[in-house]
Amino acid sequence: MSYKNTSDREVCGKKPGESITDKELADFGANIDALVESGTISTSSASFKPVVNESGA
Amino acid sequence: MSRIVLTNMSVTVGAVDLSDHITSVTIETTVEAVSTTAMSSAGLTSQIGGLKTNTVTLDFHQDFAASNVEVTMFPLIGTATTVLVKPAAGATALTNPLYTISDVLVTSWTPINGGVGELSTASVTYPCGAVVKTIV
């Protein structure tokens, strides 16, 4: 899983807008939940497909 | 070796570079002195090293803006994080060692601290695990 640095400062040595991997976050001892909660990083690889409920006529 | 005046320390808390809002850093390791004094100690006390205790003290300029001090520190309360410190920004080297401080337990946080006309600051001291020094 990868994340995007959505802050205006360096995170894991990555500049704003750059992507950060799970491993890089782990190497820095980052608390991923806290960083996501604070809006410092966001998931960049997640793509959600809406669930369509089809019902009969 | 030349003496050093700290003007550009690199400080990362929980992977976030907060160097521009930190004014002071203290990494301290203390070792408990365990007495080995006995009758044959010639009237002197003697000791051996016991348990080590590591702490890190950080002084912040408070900032509530996005991706800044408060928003970085507040979610860490009660959790363990990692702090990286270098005497100067730039490459790690013998003359610019990287200190990796792991298992820093965020035991307290003061979001508001100060009086009228004062700069809002926060000063914290946290117990931590290992302090590893890297020079390359």
B74 vs A contacts (CB less than 8 Å):
38
How far, in whole angstroms, is CA B96 from its chain's centroid? Answer: 16
Of B15, B68, B100, the CB nearest to A30: B15
Amino acid, res. B62: Q
Highest CATH level, class, for B10-33+45-134: mainly beta
Q: Nearest C-alpha of chain A: how many angstroms from B48?
A: 33
Domain chopping of chain B, boundaries: 10-33+45-134
Whether the per-residue pLDDT at B19 is higher than 70: the answer is yes
Strand ranges for chain B from DSSP E = 10-13, 16-17, 22-35, 47-61, 80-86, 98-105, 121-128, 131-134
Residues B106-131: what's their mean pLDDT? Answer: 96
pLDDT at B80: 93
Give tens-digit pLDDT for A29-56: 898 988 998 889 999 754 445 556 666 5
B91/A contact by beta carbon, under 8 A: no
Q: Cα(A30)–Cα(B129) distance, rounded to whole angstroms?
A: 15
pLDDT, mean of residues B61-88: 94
Share of chain B above pLDDT 90, in %: 93
- B11: tokens are 């400080």
ipTM over 0.90: no
Residue of chain A with shortest Cα separation from B91 = A13
Instruction: Identify the three-state secondary structure at position B88.
Output: strand
Query: What pLDDT score was predicted for residue A50?
Result: 54
Question: What value does the mean pLDDT take over residues B98-105?
Answer: 97
Taking contacts as CB-CB distances below 8 angstroms, the residues of chain A near B67 are 6-9, 38-40
Q: Do A40 and B71 touch (CB under 8 A)?
A: yes
Q: B67, A9: Cβ pair inside 8 Å?
A: yes
Q: Mutating which of B10, B13, B17, B69 best tests the A interface, going by the most A Cβ atoms within 10 A?
A: B17
The verdict on pTM exceeding 0.80 is yes
Can you tell me the distance from the alpha carbon of B42 to that of B38, in angstroms, rounded to the nearest whole number?
9
What proportion of chain B, given as a percentage, has pLDDT over 70? 99
List of chain B residues whose C-beta atoms are within 8 Å of the C-beta of residue A37? 75
> What pLDDT score does A47 carry?
46
Chain A CB within 8 Å of residue B67 CB: yes
